[in-house]
Structure 1
């Protein structure tokens, strides 16, 4: 454990949680839900002020933050504010449970959505245009007629708006596969066929990509990469649940180790890891487990089907069970972290 590792962990993990809570906060404010508290950090408040009914605070432990929405913690009643403000009436439209269903869904979904957005922004840093900058003489691409300056727009059925998509299509192709490749040259689209070779056990065609990276294009590419990475993670989880791949989970200890190692390897590695952690947190929060955002979406789905909310006692019981399951999963992940040592 180093000082740089601690600072990197606080920066990465704190930003992930803060952006997540900011999503809930912004949408709640936009749709008229009363936000009791918006805090940066946890623990005792160092600075605290009130503006338009919301308390904002900077707290001692800079590991993210939290937001408290009126009516979410106890839908059956509305306690007074912590500074003696009068409670809201049960029918007050500023209570979360009194807002239209679509507004509540947006408020809850905004947290994970912000993590995916941040991941896309971070991955824009790695965007490489699908433009051929260099080509290996006599390599598969050269034999097929690809030239420097060509933009690869599609490989088979896969559109390739980013160099990462091109790399994905080539690396996973079997040796000897004949890939139809559409290239743009001098404003015209033409098709060539490239026979994939093998290098270090992976597909290889002998090109190097690069070029100018205007920020709108880089941002678009970052979001394309975010969607690709999200799909990869979902498929890995499905294989683990199906027993086709060993279960690999990381708890706080494991995440800290990964962040510390990435920080030692340089800013690019830390940015890449932060993007993947944002995607993972977004997916985890969408799980239909009470106390997570996915659990709230599940409650609202049940309400939509039943045409009435779930009874507060059942909701509280489900959240208690969900909390116990979540704690159990965290302990299990920490156990695996310690085994990996």
Structure 2
């Protein structure tokens, strides 16, 4: 239960922060955000204010922002559909009811024959089943539509649609989700440093050696400072660990400083399987040091975020030379990581939150249609061409990208299930 609750909280924070970035900059750009949803599925609660309907939905995983004019936003009106129109004293439509779950007082029953909510702002139809006379109503710029599930959202005239914003504002809005994820990681790492009372760093000095490990058999001792591996200097334990991990069953020459004397010791990392891939281990644990200074604590969020970003980009680069599903992880992998982090307390969970937030930000910026990065790529192409891309072609690219992501998600999820539950 602890893992489930932690997973929901971590996943919820990641999605909320990401979507809030899009929401905030869309509003600042004059783009109508029709709905901001926390959760997915059937609606539990809805509140409408300043053009946006805020909804809470039953499944506590994910969320979304409906921006006017995008491919995932559209009204479900159709010719011949019965609707209820609520008009003001001037006869202008203020609310259009499409739902058979809700009855509106004084609503005029109309069978729709035509409408335009983009520019002309009207709706036509036959009142009370009388097909002898077609009636036209003007629609208020900020009129509400009661959708079939009972959710009230504002109509989206052309002037408040996404495409009507300037190119720069659209680019900022597309980038804002990932930007917020990076900012969340910075804040999370800063909180980690506060909770630890300072910045904990692992040195290249050996703090512990496992019994009967390759390190013990090779003659390494606690207190040895590893200076080089195969004549390559190592300044951090991360660099040392990377060298070891990448060389299973291969001899490595460690240059160590012991009592101010340099020694060369040959160590052969044993081969282990980690997440479906071969990796080397020698059985050492780094000696840690803590910097309690305020400057170190303040800078930790930025330094650690940048460090993780560099590592992720290295992984992405390596994927071009040898792609493997084991390099990717979906919700199942996230759940597994959360389960492990929850065992070690808040610091581990917040560290995981930061790591996942950076991952989410970077993945969303990949130039794949349907992702934020794909949208940004189309924005750049539009800037070069100095004219918008054909909406139909953009829709086709988005559908192709979405199909690719869905197939990849299925493959990754199945691979994760095999890795974490049947290994």
TM range (shorter): 0.7 to 0.9
Cα distance change of structure 1 residues 129 and 213 upon mapping to structure 2, 3 Å threshold: farther
Cα distance change of structure 1 residues 29 and 213 upon mapping to structure 2, 3 Å threshold: farther
Cα distance change of structure 1 residues 12 and 194 upon mapping to structure 2, 3 Å threshold: farther
Q: Please, which runs of 5 or more residues in structure 2 have no aligned partner?
A: 75-115, 119-142, 147-151, 208-221, 226-232, 244-252, 270-280
**How big is the shift at 1:175?**
3.2
TM-superposition CA deviations, 1:203-228 (whole Å, max 9, x none): x9x964224253x6424211210111
Matched with 1:99 is 165
Structure-to-structure mapping, 1:217-256, within 5 angstroms: 217-243=296-322, 247-256=326-335
Secondary structure class of the residue paired with 1:82: strand
Q: Which has the higher contact order (CA 8 A, sep 6+)?
A: 1
Cα distance change of structure 1 residues 194 and 24 upon mapping to structure 2, 3 Å threshold: farther
Cα distance change of structure 1 residues 235 and 78 upon mapping to structure 2, 3 Å threshold: farther
Matched with 1:148 is none
Structure-to-structure mapping, 1:168-247, within 5 angstroms: 168=238, 175-176=254-255, 208-214=288-294, 217-243=296-322, 247=326
Secondary structure class of the residue paired with 1:39: strand
Secondary structure class of the residue paired with 1:73: coil
Asked if the contact 1:240–1:246 (Cα under 8 Å) also holds between the matched residues in 2, the reply is: no
Q: 1:128 aligns with which of 199, 206, 209?
A: 199
Asked if the contact 1:140–1:194 (Cα under 8 Å) also holds between the matched residues in 2, the reply is: no
Structure-to-structure mapping, 1:1-341, within 5 angstroms: 3-73=1-71, 82-83=145-146, 87-90=155-158, 92=159, 94-124=160-190, 125-126=192-193, 128=199, 166-168=236-238, 175-176=254-255, 208-214=288-294, 217-243=296-322, 247-340=326-419, 341=422
**How big is the shift at 1:321?**
0.7
The structure whose Rg is larger is 2
CA distance in 1, matches of 2:403, 2:313: 24
Aligned length: 303
TM-superposition CA deviations, 1:70-99 (whole Å, max 9, x none): 122279996785338774443x1x322111
CA distance in 2, matches of 1:323, 1:245: 20
Cα distance change of structure 1 residues 58 and 120 upon mapping to structure 2, 3 Å threshold: same
**How big is the shift at 1:135?**
12
Report the TM-score, using the length of structure 2 for normalisation: 0.61
CA distance in 2, matches of 1:283, 1:196: 42
Asked if the contact 2:19–2:63 (Cα under 8 Å) also holds between the matched residues in 1, the reply is: yes
Asked if the contact 2:6–2:342 (Cα under 8 Å) also holds between the matched residues in 1, the reply is: yes
Asked if the contact 1:70–1:95 (Cα under 8 Å) also holds between the matched residues in 2, the reply is: yes
Cα distance change of structure 1 residues 246 and 287 upon mapping to structure 2, 3 Å threshold: closer
CA distance in 2, matches of 1:300, 1:116: 21
Cα distance change of structure 1 residues 301 and 332 upon mapping to structure 2, 3 Å threshold: same
TM-superposition CA deviations, 1:79-128 (whole Å, max 9, x none): 785338774443x1x32211111111111101011111111211221451
Cα distance change of structure 1 residues 272 and 325 upon mapping to structure 2, 3 Å threshold: same
Q: Please, which runs of 5 or more residues in structure 1 have no aligned partner?
A: 142-156, 159-164, 179-192
Report the TM-score, using the length of structure 1 for normalisation: 0.75
